[in-house]
Amino acid sequence: MSKWLRELWEYSVRMLSDNAGATNVSYANSDTILEALVLHTLPDFGEHGDGIINNNFLLAMLKANKRLKVVDGGLEFWKGVTKGSNSNFKWQGYADDMTAALQDPSARLRFAIKTFTGSIVINKLHEAQNKGRAMMKNFAATLKEQAESTIPNQFNSAFWKSSPGTDEPESVPSLVSTTPTTGTIGGLSRSGAQYLQNGVYTTAVSDIGSEAGLAALKKQQIQRAIGSGGKDIADIIIMDESNFAGLVAFLDGQRRYQANDKMAQLDFDTIKIGNTTISYENTTVSESENTITAGYIYGLNSNHLNFEVLKDGNFIWNPDGFERVGRTLNKALYFWVFCNLTTNLPKSHFVMTNVSTA
């Protein structure tokens, strides 16, 4: 190598080294770099909350069936439910008088808008301790992973609480009651109103993984169908993991097992029978989360079940970024959702309460 080439090479190495050093110093000295890195790595729940929805079977199915609704505004979510037919329609003689009476076609179910919030907090000490590039990435990744697991689990737990509190959203056991002739739904009394009463099947089903078990399940679907031939039928079935495993084993042994391909892409374990998708809730929880009652099977009609969210509270991380918390050294990035689980026809759903598997 000639002398001038060697000098050029040595100069280039020095420049690259100096620039690399300058970049590292600049990176490490930025006071907001930890905040920026946390913002960059946080789970993007997005405009429609996909980071939550795609980790929750019920929400993922409602999304797939286009039953997630973004509402511009309002004081509550309300649903009209047809409680009777129009008495003006009839067969009659050609010369008879037609009927033209005022009708009271529907009742209004009202669901309060519930608020879900959270925050990710960093302290000035954390910023000082995590100036190094690798340490900052590790700390930001830990915050990201914690949020990714906590938020979907909180939603899933809320959807399986037997008696939601004042500040909590409706749940599957709340909307699909084991005592549908008592209590209220959407602010209306279930008593004496069949259109507000879901189906309940308490007779023992000794083995869901059998022809008799499948027949009992199918019968409940048919009995709760709206319209001719079961066209509008409960198309989401959720059971506990033991019953699901028994059903999978039975169908697989007969080469009748088929998964829902769309849900399989989201890593949900499902069974597809006709237009019905079957999955499970695990009764073994990590902490104190709510889950399905063992031996219960819920049949949900996605045509009459919605997850609704306000447009300005649609899975939002604070667009202003981190904010100082009082006079402390903490800064918080806040998260909020304004939503609820709603139904407009309670009688289209059912629950079986005494199911087991061999």
pLDDT at 10: 61
Distance in angstroms (rounded) separating the CA atoms of residues 223 and 114: 33
Question: Measured at the alpha carbon of residue 51, what is the angle toward residues 72 and 318, in degrees to the nearest 5?
Answer: 55
Q: Does the pLDDT of residue 140 top 90, yes or no? A: no
DSSP-derived pairing of the beta strands 68-71 and 106-112: unpaired
State in Å, rounded, how far the first CA of the chain is from the last one: 81
Distance CA 268, CA 247 (A): 16
What is the tens place of the pLDDT at every residue in 91-118?
999 999 999 999 887 889 999 999 999 9
Give the Cβ contact number of residue 267 at 10 Å. 9
Supply the pLDDT for residue 39. 79
Beta bridge partners of 279: 238
Residue with tokens 């981190």: 322
pLDDT above 70: residue 57? yes
Share of the chain above pLDDT 70, in %: 89
When comparing pLDDT for 248 and 41, which is higher?
248
Cβ neighbour number for residue 195 with a 10 Å cutoff: 16
pLDDT of residue 4: 55
Contact between 53 and 43 under an 8 Å Cβ cutoff? The reply is no
For residue 9, the model assigns a pLDDT of 56
Coil vs helix vs strand at 354: coil
Query: Where are the chain's structural domains?
Result: 50-82+104-352
The strand order across the sheet containing 271-273 reads 199-201, 350-352, 297-300, 236-240, 276-281, 271-273
pLDDT bin (cut points 50, 70, 90) of residue 130 is confident
| Predicted local confidence at residue 43, as pLDDT | 64
* 167 DSSP β-pair partners: none
Q: Which neighbouring-strand residues pair with 305?
A: 343
The pLDDT of residue 85: 84
Q: What's the angle, vertex CA 348, arms to CA 356 and CA 81, rounded to 5?
A: 150
Q: Are 259 and 271 in contact (CB under 8 A)?
A: yes
Tens digits of residue pLDDT in 255-314:
888 899 999 999 999 999 989 999 999 999 888 899 999 999 999 999 999 999 999 999
**Residue 332: pLDDT over 80:** yes
The per-residue pLDDT for range 220-234, each reduced to its tens digit, is 999 999 877 778 999
Q: Are 147 and 121 in contact (CB under 8 A)?
A: no
Q: Which two tokens stand for residue 49?
A: 């909350």
Q: Residue with structure tokens 């309060």?
A: 112
Using alpha carbons, list the distances in angstroms from residue 36 to 5, 23, 85, 263: 42, 16, 59, 34
- Which range of 17-21, 103-107, 244-248 scores highest in mean pLDDT? It is 244-248
For the cut 70, the answer to whether the pLDDT of residue 71 exceeds it is: yes
At residue 30's C-alpha, the angle toward residues 25 and 31, to 5°, is: 140
CA distance 71 to 78: 11
pLDDT the model gives residue 7: 56
User: What average pLDDT does the structure give for the chain?
Assistant: 87
50-82+104-352 is a CATH 3.40.50 domain:
no
Confidence grade of residue 89 (pLDDT, cut at 50, 70, 90): very high
Q: What is the mean pLDDT of residues 77-97?
A: 90
DSSP state of 230: G
Torsion angle in degrees (nearest 10) through CA of 85, 87, 93, 95? -140
CB 332 within 8 A of CB 88: no
Check residue 37 and give its pLDDT.
79
User: Which H helix or E strand runs over 17?
Assistant: helix 3-29
Query: What does the pLDDT look like over 151-189, one tens digit per residue?
Result: 989 999 999 999 999 999 999 999 999 999 999 999 999
pTM for the complete prediction? 0.84
pLDDT tens digits along 192-221: 999 999 999 999 999 999 999 999 999 999
Alpha-carbon distances, residue 159 vs 59, 128, 164, 333 (angstroms): 10, 40, 9, 25
Q: What angle (nearest 5°) sits at the alpha carbon of residue 51, between those of residues 48 and 53?
A: 65
